[in-house]
Copies of this chain bind each other. A is one copy, B any other.
Amino acid sequence: MTITPTLKKIERKSLVSPKGFTATGIHCGIKHKKKDLAVVISDVPASVAGVFTTNAIQAAPLKVTKDVVYNTKKMQAILVNSGNANACTGKQGHLDALAMQQLAADQFDIPANLIGVASTGVIGEPLPMAPIIHGVSKLKANDELTGALDFAQAIMTTDTVMKSTSYATTIDGKEIVIAGVAKGSGMIEPNMATMLGFITTDAAIESEDLQAALSSVTEKTFNSITVDGDTSTNDMVLVLANGLAGNDTLTPAHPEWSTFVDALEMVSQDLAKLIAKDGEGATKLIEVNVTGAVSDEEARKIAKTVVGSPLVKTAVFGCDANWGRIIAAVGYSGTQINPDTITIKLGDILVVEDSEPVKFSEDQAMNYLKQHEISISVDLHHGSGEGRAWGCDLTYDYVQINASYRS
């Protein structure tokens, strides 16, 4: 993508960097010791957009939050717990998700139909309401860096690092800030929405246009990462836009519309890559770039197939330039290709041309694969479609983490 010149990555306070947002996170007792309850609040009702998991089994909080996104069409606060997904918990689970919404409404004096809720953690165990009831009564959001960090920590499960990013840009001469935080490192797969992501901005934009912008960037960002092919029951990305930056309301007809969409894409891409890099047990971020495909969509499909192949992932872990597994994954991606015109590079090292091996230095390739960010390029020479996907290596630690998750 071409980056708008005014777009600047900023440090500042993450989720609370845009005007009029506060946040916090605490330990309430769902987990043993770590933070497990978080809230982010806008000073005023915000426009809202959301993308949700495509899993046919959907957790209770998704149903409650979708109701706010699709019916209220505004949102002012999001209450999130980690340690329990409130999924496959039946009627009681639905009542518990509604109770979370009501607790936040009472605590923050906001109408319940403006509150989103999200849960992440173990599936199929009843949500422990006592610690949540007590916890919500202790939540005091603030607009300091600590509030944003506490929020980012409290939504983590097997994540090893907090994931947040912020950008500033200028629209109508006003500074617009857009920031995001995410969690997720297992059950990460292409079919939206495969993690929790919360994005705040002070841009002025109606919910409908915000949804259009989010949908347009999701396919190229959150839907282009894969860790293990498992699509969760719970995951969602929400964007709140409270308008406090004072720009003219953004619409696709606004001359700086693409400035906003670019900023949203950069935030989404940063979060997506952070999630892929922190894939359970991962030691490396893998980026696969595909060119020369029949269409952009097919290019992305090929990129996701390659980056999702367990054999490619283990080869990258083992620093083994085993390009045969890469070309095999291209072959089984279910796309239109010419089997005789494929070029493959590991970083800058050409390893396959016209689908045949090229002599290369194994030492040089092994040294390249020891990096923490690996790029694989596949040119199909079969069209003009381009696409990218991100994933991570498959390691002993992935097995360890997932063989004992509940215990």
Contact = CB atoms under 8 A, between A and B. Distances in A.
A229 B309 contact: yes
Contacts of A130: none
Contact of A339 (B56, B125, B323, B335): B56
A311 interface: yes
Interface in A273-323: 308-311, 314-315, 317-318, 320, 322-323
Contact of A318 (B58, B398, B404): B404
Contacts of A356: 88-90, 124
10 contacts: A57-B328, A88-B327, A89-B357, A123-B322, A124-B323, A229-B309, A230-B325, A317-B399, A320-B407, A399-B399
Categorize the interface residue count of chain A. Answer: 35 or more
A6 interface: no
Interface in A138-187: 186-187
Contacts of A55: 328, 331-332
A402 interface: yes
A398 to B, nearest CB: 8
A352 B88 contact: yes
Interface of A: 54-58, 85, 87-90, 122-125, 186-187, 189, 191, 228-233, 308-311, 314-315, 317-318, 320, 322-325, 327-332, 335, 337, 339, 352, 354-357, 394-396, 398-400, 402-407
A192 to B, nearest CB: 11
The 5 tightest CB contacts between A and B, nearest first, are A123-B324, A318-B403, A57-B331, A314-B402, A231-B332
A256 to B, nearest CB: 38
B310 A229 contact: yes
Copies in the complex: 2
Nearest to A311: B230
B402 A324 contact: no
Nearest to A355: B88
B123 A328 contact: yes
A16 to B, nearest CB: 33
Contact of A396 (B191, B317, B400): B400
A203 B229 CA distance: 44
Most buried by B among A318, A335, A395: A318
Given A356-B89, A357-B125, A404-B320, A328 B230 contact: yes
B403 A314 contact: yes
Nearest to A401: B314
A356 to B, nearest CB: 4
A399 B406 contact: no
A338 to B, nearest CB: 9
A265 to B, nearest CB: 26
A357 B405 contact: no
A227 to B, nearest CB: 9
A371 B71 CA distance: 50
Given A90-B354, A122-B324, A332 B402 contact: no
Given A57-B328, A124-B356, A318-B402, 6 more contacts: A56-B335, A90-B355, A123-B324, A123-B328, A229-B308, A320-B403
A399 B396 contact: yes
B90 A124 contact: no
Contact of A229 (B122, B229, B314): B229
A332 B190 CA distance: 11
Contacts of A54: 332
Contacts of A403: 314-315, 317-318, 320
